[in-house]
C-alpha cells in the first residue's frame, strides 16, 4: 500500500480498569463507568486531576437499551474533569476509535492523559425491557423506515445476525467452510472462559450442543452470537514520556489501522474481508508481522467476524480459516495463535470491543493468571464488523 | 402480508420504490459512463458525473446468498421467510437485498435464477423475487 505515514507514534496505554462484569448486574451505567475509570487512573499512577482528555464509543444518542453507556457529559461532570480535548461517536474505527483518537490527541499535544471508556448495561436493560413488554400489548411496528435501513428493513432484515448471515452462507458456498469448523471458535471461547473468573459463561460447550442449538439467522446459530452483559472497561492513554513509572508497566501502541472497507452498506460489499484495509494499514506502520503476534484478541460479536479478521490480518490465507480452525488446536491458549484468551464476547460477555483490548493488556503485563500465555510480548486487537473497523498492535514496553 | 415497515418516500428514492407501477425494476444509471449504481446518490460513484437517471433493467437476477426470517409466532407461513441477496446480469456489482416469494425454505439455493415481481402497498411497489420458472414472475 502507499505510505500514508506511521500514524500516532509514542502513545501508550498507561492504565487499565474494569468494573464488575455480569450477565445482569442491575447497576447504573455511570457507577460501573466510574469504577472502571478510577481503577484505570490509579493503575496509571495518576489522579483525576491529571486527566485532561476524554473519549468514548459511541457517546450519546443511541436508542438501543443499555448499549451506549453514559455520555461524555455525564462522566465529565461526575469526575469534574478539566478537559483540553474530548471526542465520542459511532462512525469511527469501531470500538477502538476512541483509542486511536486518544493516541492522536496525546501525540499531537491536544491532551496529556486521555480517559477512554466503553460501558454496556445490555444484559439488565434487555431483561427490564422484556418485563415491561410482558405487561403491555405488543408495541406497534414503525410504519415507515428511512435512511440506509430502508433497503433492508422492509424485508424483515433489521438485526446484526441477519446482516452477517448472508456473508456466512456466501463464504461457506465459496470456500467450503463447515459449521463444525466455525463451532471451534465458540467451543474454544468456553474452554478459555473457564479460566476467567469474570466470564459470564464458564461451562464447557460441546460440538453437539453447538450443532443442536436454534438458528438465530441461518446459518448463524445461538452459539455463534456473543452474550449481552453489564460492565465497563476503561483505559488511560498517555504519551510514553508522560506516563509515570508504576508497578504495572505501560503498554505501547505500536501501530493502528483505522481504514474503512470499500463499501459501508451492509449488503453491498461483495466479500467478507471487512477489515482488510485497516489491517493492511496497521501492518504497513510497523516492522512486526503476523508471525510476531503472541496473543490475538479479535472481535467476536459473531464467530464469523473473528474468522473474517483472522484472514484480513493475514493469520491465514483468504478462504483458509475453516482449515485453520479445524479441531481448535491452533487457537488454544497453548496453540500457535492464542485467540480471545479470556473467552471473548462469546463467553466472557459483550463488553463491546474494549473488553478484548483489556485482555490484551493483561496478557502483555503477564497478569492473566491461569490463562496467561507465557512470555506474551506482542498482541493484536481488532474490533468491529461492517461498516466500522479498527485494529491496534500492542507491545510490552521493554 | 408484510409485517415490516415500508420505506418512507422522498425525492431521492421515490423512483425506486414506485418503479413497479409498470412492472419494471429500475436503478439509477450514469448517462456519461453508463454505470448502474445502488443505493441512489446524486452523482455517479465511478465518474462523479451529475447526469444520472433511473433506467429499467431486465428484472432477471440470481440468488447470491440468503437467510431465513424467524417463523411467524402464530405458526402460519406468510410466504416471505427467505430473504436473499440478488445479483443482476446487467452489472456485476449491482445488488439488492429482497424477499424471495414462492420459494420454500428447502428450495432456497445460491445461483437460483429469479425474476422480479412487486408487492403493492399503496404507492410503494416493493420488489420481491420469484423463481425464474414461475409464471408469476413474468412482468
**DSSP readout, A308-332?**
HHHHHTTSS-TT-HHHHHGGG-TTS
Percentage of chain A modeled with pLDDT above 70: 97
Is B53 exposed, middle or buried, given 0-12, 13-18 or 19+ CB atoms closer than 10 A? exposed
Q: How many residues does chain A have?
A: 398
Q: Assess contact for A70 and A81: CB atoms under 8 A.
A: no
**Cβ–Cβ contact A76 with B under 8 A:** no
- Nearest Cα to A388, choosing from A60, A59, A91? A91
Q: Kindly report the CATH number that applies to the domain delimited by A11-125+227-396.
A: 3.40.47.10
The answer to the question of residue B90 being in a domain is: yes
Task: For residue B65, give the nearest of A157, A166, A265 by CB distance.
Answer: A166
| E strand or H helix at A166 | helix A160-175
Number of Cβ within 10 Å of residue B41's Cβ equals 11
| E strand or H helix at B96 | strand B91-100
**Cβ–Cβ contact B18 with A under 8 A:** no
CA-to-CA distance for A256 and A254, rounded, in angstroms? Answer: 7
The answer to the question of residue B2 being in a domain is: no
Residue A388 C-alpha, separation from nearest chain B C-alpha, in angstroms: 19
Domain of residue B32, residue span: 14-137
The answer to the question of residue B106 being in a domain is: yes
pLDDT band at A397 (very low <50, low <70, confident <90, very high): confident
| A contact test, residue of B14, B17, B28, B67 with most A CBs within 10 A | B67
Task: For residue B95, give the nearest of A146, A215, A267 by CB distance.
Answer: A267
Higher pLDDT, A261 or B116: B116
The answer to the question of residue B9 being in a domain is: no
Does residue A88 carry a pLDDT above 80? yes
CA-to-CA distance for A187 and A238, rounded, in angstroms? Answer: 37
Residues of A in contact with B39 (CB under 8 A): 148, 151, 265, 268
- Nearest Cα to A9, choosing from A131, A107, A89? A107
User: Cβ contact (<8 Å) for B4 and A154?
Assistant: yes
Give A214's DSSP letter: P
Mean pLDDT of A294-316: 98
Q: Are strands A113-121 and A53-56 parallel, antiparallel or unpaired?
A: parallel
Residue range B61-97, pLDDT digits in tens: 999 999 998 876 666 565 668 999 999 999 999 999 9
Beta bridge partners of B88: B91
The 3-state DSSP class for residue A88 equals: strand
The number of domains in chain B is 1
Which positions 168-187 of A are in contact with B (Cβ < 8 Å)? Answer: 169-170, 173
CA-to-CA distance for A130 and A102, rounded, in angstroms? Answer: 37
**Cβ–Cβ contact B96 with A under 8 A:** yes
User: Cβ contact (<8 Å) for B3 and A145?
Assistant: no
> Does the model's pTM come out above 0.90?
yes
**Cβ–Cβ contact B83 with A under 8 A:** yes
CA-to-CA distance for A180 and A203, rounded, in angstroms? Answer: 19
Mean pLDDT of B3-24: 95
Looking at residue A313, what is its pLDDT? 98
**Cβ–Cβ contact B14 with A under 8 A:** no
User: Cβ contact (<8 Å) for A173 and B110?
Assistant: yes
The answer to the question of residue B50 being in a domain is: yes
Residue range A237-248, pLDDT digits in tens: 999 998 888 888
User: Cβ contact (<8 Å) for A267 and B97?
Assistant: yes
| A contact test, residue of B1, B2, B5 with most A CBs within 10 A | B5
Looking at residue B76, what is its pLDDT? 57
Percentage of chain A modeled with pLDDT above 90: 87
A-chain residue closest to B92, CA distance: A270
Residue B82 C-alpha, separation from nearest chain A C-alpha, in angstroms: 9
Mean pLDDT of A93-116: 98
Mean model confidence pLDDT for chain A = 95
The 3-state DSSP class for residue A357 equals: helix
CA-to-CA distance for A36 and A49, rounded, in angstroms? Answer: 16
B-chain residue closest to A151, CA distance: B97
Give the list of residues 6+ apart from residue B68 with CB closer than 8 angstroms, or none: A215, A217, A218, B81, B82, B83, B105, B108
Residues of A in contact with B13 (CB under 8 A): 150
Beta bridge partners of A55: A87, A116
The answer to the question of residue B3 being in a domain is: no
Looking at residue B73, what is its pLDDT? 66
Q: What is the crossing angle of helices A179-193 and A303-312, to 10°?
A: 100
Residue A271 C-alpha, separation from nearest chain B C-alpha, in angstroms: 11
pLDDT band at B1 (very low <50, low <70, confident <90, very high): very low
Mean pLDDT of A381-389: 93
CA-to-CA distance for A307 and A298, rounded, in angstroms? Answer: 9
CA-to-CA distance for A105 and A118, rounded, in angstroms? Answer: 18
Looking at residue A284, what is its pLDDT? 97
Mean pLDDT of A147-157: 94
CA-to-CA distance for A307 and A304, rounded, in angstroms? Answer: 5
Task: For residue B85, give the nearest of A145, A166, A219 by CB distance.
Answer: A166
pLDDT band at B133 (very low <50, low <70, confident <90, very high): confident
CA-to-CA distance for A115 and A38, rounded, in angstroms? Answer: 10
According to the per-residue pLDDT averaged within each range, which of A17-21, A136-140, B104-108 is highest? A17-21
Amino acid at each position: 500500500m502507499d505510505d500514508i505515514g506511521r500514524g500516532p507514534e509514542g502513545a501508550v496505554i498507561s492504565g487499565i480498569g474494569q468494573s464488575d462484569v455480569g450477565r445482569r448486574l442491575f447497576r447504573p451505567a455511570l457507577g460501573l463507568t466510574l469504577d472502571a475509570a478510577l481503577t484505570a487512573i490509579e493503575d496509571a499512577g495518576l489522579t483525576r486531576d491529571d486527566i485532561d482528555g476524554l473519549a468514548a464509543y459511541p457517546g450519546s444518542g443511541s436508542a438501543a437499551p443499555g448499549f451506549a453507556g453514559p455520555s461524555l457529559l455525564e462522566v465529565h461532570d461526575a469526575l469534574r474533569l478539566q478537559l483540553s480535548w474530548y471526542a465520542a461517536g459511532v462512525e469511527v474505527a469501531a470500538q477502538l476509535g476512541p483509542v486511536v483518537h486518544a493516541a492522536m490527541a496525546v501525540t499531537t499535544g491536544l491532551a496529556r492523559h486521555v480517559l477512554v471508556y466503553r460501558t454496556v448495561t445490555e444484559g439488565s436493560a434487555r431483561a427490564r425491557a422484556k418485563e415491561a413488554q410482558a405487561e403491555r400489548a405488543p408495541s406497534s411496528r414503525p410504519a415507515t423506515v428511512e435512511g440506509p435501513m430502508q433497503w433492508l428493513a422492509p424485508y424483515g432484515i433489521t438485526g446484526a445476525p441477519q446482516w452477517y448471515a448472508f456473508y456466512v452462507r456466501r463464504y461457506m458456498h465459496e470456500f467450503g467452510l463447515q459449521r463444525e469448523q466455525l463451532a471451534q471458535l465458540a467451543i474454544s471461547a468456553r474452554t478459555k472462559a473457564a479460566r476467567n473468573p469474570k466470564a459470564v459463561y464458564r461451562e464447557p460447550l460441546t460440538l453437539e450442543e453447538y450443532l443442536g442449538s436454534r438458528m438465530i439467522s441461518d446459518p448463524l446459530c445461538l452459539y455463534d452470537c456473543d452474550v449481552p452483559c453489564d460492565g465497563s472497561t476503561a483505559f488511560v492513554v498517555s504519551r510514553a514520556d508522560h506516563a509515570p513509572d508504576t508497578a504495572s508497566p505501560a503498554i505501547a501502541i505500536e501501530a493502528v489501522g483505522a481504514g474503512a472497507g470499500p463499501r459501508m452498506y451492509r449488503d453491498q460489499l461483495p466479500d467478507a474481508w471487512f477489515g482488510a484495509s485497516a489491517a493492511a494499514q496497521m501492518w504497513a506502520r510497523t516492522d512486526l508481522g503476523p508471525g510476531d503476534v503472541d496473543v490475538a484478541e479479535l472481535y467476536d460479536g459473531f464467530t464469523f467476524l473473528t474468522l473474517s479478521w483472522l484472514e484480513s490480518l493475514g493469520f491465514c490465507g483468504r478462504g483458509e480459516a475453516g482449515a485453520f480452525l479445524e479441531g481448535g488446536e491452533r487457537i488454544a491458549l497453548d496453540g500457535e495463535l492464542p485467540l480471545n484468551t479470556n473467552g471473548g464476547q462469546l463467553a466472557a460477555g459483550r463488553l463491546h470491543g474494549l473488553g478484548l483490548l483489556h485482555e490484551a493488556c493483561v496478557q502483555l503485563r503477564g497478569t492473566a493468571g491461569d490463562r496467561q500465555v507465557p512470555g506474551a510480548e506482542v498482541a493484536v486487537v481488532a474490533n468491529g464488523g461492517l461498516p466500522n473497523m479498527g485494529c491496534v498492535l500492542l507491545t510490552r514496553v521493554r | 402480508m408484510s409485517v415490516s415497515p415500508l420505506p418512507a418516500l422522498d425525492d431521492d428514492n421515490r423512483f425506486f420504490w414506485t418503479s413497479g407501477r409498470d412492472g419494471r425494476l429500475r436503478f439509477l444509471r450514469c448517462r456519461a459512463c453508463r454505470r448502474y449504481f445502488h443505493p441512489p446518490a446524486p452523482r455517479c460513484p465511478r465518474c462523479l458525473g451529475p447526469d444520472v437517471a433511473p433506467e429499467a433493467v431486465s428484472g432477471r437476477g440470481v440468488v447470491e446468498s440468503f437467510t431465513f426470517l424467524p417463523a411467524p409466532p402464530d405458526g402460519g407461513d406468510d410466504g416471505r421467510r427467505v430473504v436473499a441477496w440478488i445479483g443482476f446480469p446487467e452489472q456485476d456489482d449491482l445488488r439488492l437485498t429482497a424477499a424471495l416469494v414462492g420459494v420454500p425454505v428447502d428450495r432456497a439455493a445460491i445461483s437460483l435464477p429469479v425474476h422480479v415481481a412487486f408487492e403493492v402497498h399503496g404507492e410503494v411497489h416493493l420488489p420481491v423475487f420469484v423463481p425464474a420458472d414461475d409464471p408469476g414472475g413474468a412482468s
